[in-house]
């Protein structure tokens, strides 16, 4: 069975939800520990949301230098699929696996709401199960989710199809060009501020649209998704 | 013990909503002549031995500042030192950001030196000659 690791840092909040999403998608969830450089043979890694190391200095700045991240950076450069959610996205930017940075929300408020995103690119390990331009509804909850990069980098991202998700129906944090998520050049590393792991079943989420990211990586790895996971719906 | 001070500031082109919020509060203090406020971080580093500016710059570049959004400056800060060691306590400024060009390092002799103190170039021990 495909094994997907979820790293727990001191201050991670959504690691349990991410492990659950992995399981519902049909993979074997593997709990990884920030202080352990051993990735235990996982086929993909999720960096969950939360406040790693208390968000001290900058969000993700200290987590980047953890033992687990040292191994993940090397593995990601060799093609390991990595998904960074919220704080995980911040960590990926700090680790220079993704361009840009996440800064304080422009309006200074913590924003917590269900958010419509448009899937702008389906050629990644984590979005191949969506339709190009599909709109999905998943929760966003952050205080420092304003995506910034210099204009040249933004232009490159747009030109190379590396903007993976864009906010629709209102930008919750002031992110430049409404960018909610980006990918690396190879497409194995994706980061986004909203939380797909909170939209995986009707009981607890506003939709099941988030499950598509976890089933996409299974397809990418050539593994079957759980029968109960189904395909991401076309809402 | 000499201390290395690293000041980290958001780049001028990066919006600082927290600074704007502070600026917006100033009229309530009766202050109306402030054009802008920007908030940064000051980090004080104390080495076990002599201050190592190269090492401090590496620390700042890799961890203390994110070159995508922040610039930093480094200096050795005056701390009370025994007589005779004063020449090694001048302010040293180095400004660096994501610009790969080697930062300028200007070394100044403290103005407060007694008149009879020889004005040797202030070059703290362990500081790289640049």
- What CATH code is carried by the domain that includes residue A165? 3.40.50.880
Chain A: give the shortest CA distance to residue B16, in Å.
8
Q: Is A100 on the interface with B (CB under 8 A)?
A: yes
Active site residues of A: 86, 195, 197
Residue A197 counted as domain residue: yes
3-state SS, one letter per residue, for chain A: CCEEEEEECCCECCHHHHHHHHHHHCCEEEEEECCCCCCCCCCEEEECCECHHHHCCCCCCCHHHCHHHHHHHHHHHCCCCEEEECHHHHHHHHCCCCCCEEECCCCCCCEEEEEEEEECCCCCCCCCCCCCCCEEEEEEEECCCEEECCHHHHHHHHHCCCEEEEEECCCCCCCHHHEEEEECCCCCEEEECCCHHHCCCCCCCCCCCCHHHHHHHHHHCCCCCCCCCCCCCCC
The range of the structural domain enclosing residue A157 comes to: 3-220
Residue A233 counted as domain residue: no
- Strand-pair category, A146-148 with A189-192: unpaired
Interface residues of B toward A, Cβ cutoff 8 Å, are 10, 13-15, 17-18, 21, 41, 63-64, 66, 68-69
pLDDT in tens, B80-121: 655 544 444 444 444 444 333 333 333 333 333 344 434 433
Pair of tokens at residue A219: 């397809």
Choose the mutation target among A53, A55, A56, A57 for the interface with B, i.e. most B CBs under 10 Å. Answer: A57
ipTM > 0.90? no
pLDDT in tens, A176-221: 999 999 999 999 999 999 999 999 999 999 999 999 999 999 999 9
User: Along the 235 residues of chain A, how does pLDDT read in single tens digits?
Assistant: 999 999 999 999 999 999 999 999 999 999 999 999 999 999 999 999 999 999 999 999 999 999 999 999 999 999 999 999 999 999 999 999 999 999 999 999 999 999 999 999 999 999 999 999 999 999 999 999 999 999 999 999 999 999 999 999 999 999 999 999 999 999 999 999 999 999 999 999 999 999 999 999 999 999 888 765 544 444 4
Choose the mutation target among A58, A65, A143, A154 for the interface with B, i.e. most B CBs under 10 Å. Answer: A58
Q: Are A137 and A115 in contact (CB under 8 A)?
A: yes
B3-107 sits in which CATH class?
alpha beta
Helices A15-25 and A211-220, axial angle in degrees (round to 10): 60
Chain B: give the shortest CA distance to residue A100, in Å.
6
Number of domains in chain A: 1
pLDDT in tens, A23-45: 999 999 999 999 999 999 999 99
Is the Cβ pair A94, B18 closer than 8 Å? Answer: no
Residue A235 counted as domain residue: no
Residue A28 counted as domain residue: yes
Q: State how far the Cα of B98 lies from the Cα of B95, in Å rounded to an integer.
A: 10
Q: Are B3 and B42 in contact (CB under 8 A)?
A: no
Residue A232 counted as domain residue: no
């Amino acid at each position: 069975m495909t094994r997907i690791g979820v790293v727990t840092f001191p201050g991670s909040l959504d690691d349990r939800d991410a492990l659950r999403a992995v399981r519902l998608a049909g993979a074997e969830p593997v709990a990884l520990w920030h202080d352990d450089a051993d990735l235990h043979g996982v086929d993909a890694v999720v960096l969950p949301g939360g406040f790693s190391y208390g968000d001290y200095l900058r969000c993700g700045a200290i987590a980047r230098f953890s033992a687990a991240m040292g191994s993940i950076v090397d593995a990601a450069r060799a093609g390991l699929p990595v998904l960074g959610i919220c704080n995980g996205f911040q960590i990926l930017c700090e680790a220079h696996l993704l361009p840009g940075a996440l800064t304080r929300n422009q309006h200074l408020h913590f924003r917590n709401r269900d958010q419509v995103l448009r899937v702008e690119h389906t050629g990644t390990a984590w979005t191949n199960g969506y339709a190009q331009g599909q709109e999905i509804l998943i929760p966003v909850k952050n205080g420092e989710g304003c995506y910034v990069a210099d204009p040249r980098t933004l232009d490159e991202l747009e030109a190379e199809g590396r903007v993976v998700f864009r906010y629709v129906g209102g930008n919750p944090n002031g992110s430049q060009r409404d960018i909610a998520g980006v990918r690396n050049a190879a497409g194995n590393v994706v980061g986004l501020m909203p939380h797909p792991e909170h939209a995986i079943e009707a009981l607890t989420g506003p939709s099941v649209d988030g499950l598509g990211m976890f089933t996409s990586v299974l397809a990418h790895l050539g593994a079957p998704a759980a029968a109960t996971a189904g395909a991401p719906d076309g809402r | 013990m000499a201390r290395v001070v690293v000041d980290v500031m958001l780049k001028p082109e990066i919006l600082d909503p927290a600074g704007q919020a502070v600026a917006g509060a100033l009229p309530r203090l009766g202050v109306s002549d402030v054009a802008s406020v920007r908030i940064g971080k000051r980090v004080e580093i104390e080495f076990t031995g002599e201050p190592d500016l190269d090492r401090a710059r590496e620390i700042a570049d890799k961890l203390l500042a994110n070159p995508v959004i922040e610039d930093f400056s480094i200096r050795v800060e005056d701390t009370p030192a025994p007589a005779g060691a004063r020449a090694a306590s001048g302010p040293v400024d180095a400004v660096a950001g994501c610009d790969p060009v080697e930062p300028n390092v200007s070394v100044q002799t403290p103005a407060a030196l007694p008149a009879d103190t020889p004005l040797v170039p202030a070059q703290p021990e362990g500081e790289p000659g640049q």
